[in-house]
Amino acid sequence: MVYFEDIAVGQTAKFGRYEVTRDEVVQFATAYDPQPFHLSDEAAAQTHFGRLSASGWHTCAMTMRMLVDNITERKQAGLGSPGLDELRWLKPVYPGDVLRVETEVLSKRASQSRPEMGSFQSAVRVYNQDDVLVMTMQSIGLIRVRDY
């Protein structure tokens, strides 16, 4: 199990593989971000996207899936997150893209009010199959302290 004490500032990780499908792009957009360029090839062709693209919020959801899969695989004693900072969608994500994640721990601190937990901030970078950076954010993770 990975606990607060095991997290090191500067620690990096590379993980995940998420294949973006047209059906999922349209399904997500229909439910949560029904802008024409996320729903229609014809409408998207008339924009700077040039073709159907995933919602940025969908990119966040796909990234979250890869983050949670990694946390589960590593057996991290995670306790959720109070939020994130500096979310940026840098390039469009298209059906057929294959996404992956890289993280770097930027800082960590023990909780003053909840001694059973600490937090750490990570830079999260999402790349497509061509190693093009498509999204960045800084996440804050809560994690259990060992033997509390």
DSSP 25-64: HHHHHHHH---HHHH-HHHHHTSTT-S----HHHHHHHHH
Kindly report, residue by residue over 4-60, the tens digit of the pLDDT: 999 999 999 999 999 999 999 999 999 999 999 999 999 999 999 999 999 999 999
Domain of residue 48, CATH code: 3.10.129.10
Q: Contact, 81 vs 118, CB < 8 A?
A: no
Kindly report, residue by residue over 96-113, the tens digit of the pLDDT: 999 999 999 999 999 999
Give the mean model confidence (pLDDT) for residues 116-124: 97
Three-state DSSP at 125 gives: strand
Residue whose C-alpha is closest to residue 118's, from 1, 5, 10:
5
CA atoms within 13 A on the CB side of 11: 12
The boundaries of the domain holding residue 20 are 4-144
- Token digits for 39? 């729903």
d(CA 133, CA 136): 8
Domain count, the chain: 1
| pLDDT given for residue 83 in this prediction | 96
CA distances from residue 81 to 54, 67, 122 in whole angstroms, order as listed: 24, 12, 12
